[in-house]
Amino acid sequence: MNTETISGKYAASSGRSATIAIYALTLGAFAIGMTEFVIMGLLPEVAADLNVSIPAAGLLITGYALGVAVGAPFITISTHKMPRKALLLLLMGIFIAGNALAAVAPNYAVLMAARFVAALTHGSFFGVGSVVAAELVPKEKRAGAIALMFTGLTLANILGVPFGTFLGQAYGWRSTFWVITAIGIVALIGVMTLVPKVKAAPSSLSQELGVLRRPAVHIALLMTVFGFGGVFTAFTYIAPILTDITGFSSGAVSYILVLFGVGITIGNIYGGKLADWKLLPSLIGTLVLLAVTLALFSLTDAYKIPALITIFVLGVASFGTVPGLQLHMLNTAKEAPTLASTLNIAAFNLGNAFGAYLGGIVIDLQIGGGLPAVPLTAALVTVIGILFALWGLQMRQKS
């Protein structure tokens, strides 16, 4: 029997075994999600300590996202035959090293390098983890399994990011990265003890690379880049928006991030359910909700209560797209899921990098007034993603 057929191996076991294995992946996702997102709440502290501007500090997010984009295909191709559990452990080890380096970084350049190193593991961890999670459950529950793994990201936003922001504001931003390093070690132990040993991908490398020639795969990747890219165009600069425009204190930002985290948890769960029901129609509907919410934020960010409501809905809409975008890629490249899944994670982060960079340009050049124009710019980015989604739907209907 091919031990790579995880779903077959676990078919006779209880659903609890699969759930525990997915929880181990969720723990790793939590650690990675915290290091990706916590920097947003600490931009003013990092900028002040390292004597750089807010947009320059924002590029630490861009650098991380580019690290994901570079690391995802390189690591996936170079470790194609490596057992998946061993690969997950290797990735967590590199992640831990990158965050430890960030904690001791003496200057901006070293911090950027540390973020890049930690990011190299991101795409492969989520890409391989998504495939494993999907294989552990019946076909009709695949999006839900992916959503469960990505719950680590949502919990990172509810618990990790607000706590990390509070810790960084109280004891210095370096303390936050030391805590992330410790959580990474716990996640490493969790993957080591709970995730089953499985062999490398059954498809050949040429088969995996062959999916890159398919137009449907390109469209799916562009859906992810632009559809989710709008989130980071605005959310990268959420701290200065809330303090400079809405009028909240810097100390309130961490609590507001909890509200956003609750929203993305709800969105992640129901996004998975909707994707398992009707994938593309529900995905397009969620992207439309996301674009409308971002556009409204350009109006509501001047008022505290409306801004809080909008941030909650933004959380629901933003992560409501994630399970659907990931499952759509798995369905588009069924014969080569590992590379396709990993590339889609890279596409998420290319969107993050592009969004953070675009928002910085709007601020630096004072386009449309600078910071106040960032949410509307974000909405326009997501609209581009919707157009690609409609194109993909049209192609599927013709095929």
> Each residue of 75-110: pLDDT tens digit?
877 887 788 788 889 999 999 999 999 999 999 999
Percent of the chain with pLDDT over 70: 91
User: Quick one: CA torsion of 380, 385, 389, 390, rounded to 10 degrees?
Assistant: 30
Q: Give dist(CA 385, CA 214) in Å, integer.
A: 19
Whether 142 shows a pLDDT value over 80: the answer reads no
The CA distance from 375 to 362, in Å, is 10
Looking at every residue in the chain, the average pLDDT score rounds to 83
CATH number for the domain running over 12-398: 1.20.1250.20
CA dist 7 and 137 (Å) reads: 6
Query: 30 pLDDT exceeds 80?
Result: yes
Give the pLDDT confidence of 194-243 residue by residue, as tens digits: 777 765 555 566 766 777 778 888 898 999 999 999 998 998 888 889 99
Amino acid at 316: V
- What per-residue confidence (pLDDT) applies to 290? 96
Whole-model pTM above 0.75?
no
Q: How many residues does the chain have?
A: 399
Place of tokens 């529950």: 141
Per-residue pLDDT, 100: 95
Token pair for residue 389? 């989604």
DSSP state of 195: S
The residue with tokens 């709800």 is: 266
Please identify which residue in the block is written with the tokens 């989710």: 228
- Three-state SS at 4: coil
Check: CB of residue 34 under 8 Å from CB of residue 183: yes
The pair of structure tokens assigned to 311 is: 């941030």
Contact of 332 with 208, CB cutoff 8 Å: no
Q: Of 91, 61, 22, whose CA–CA distance to 353 is shortest?
A: 61
pLDDT at 285 over 80: yes
If pLDDT is split at 50, 70 and 90, which confidence band does 394 have?
Answer: confident
Write the CB contacts of 144 (distance below 8 Å, at least 6 apart in sequence): 137, 272, 273, 276, 323
**Ranges of each domain in the chain:** 12-398
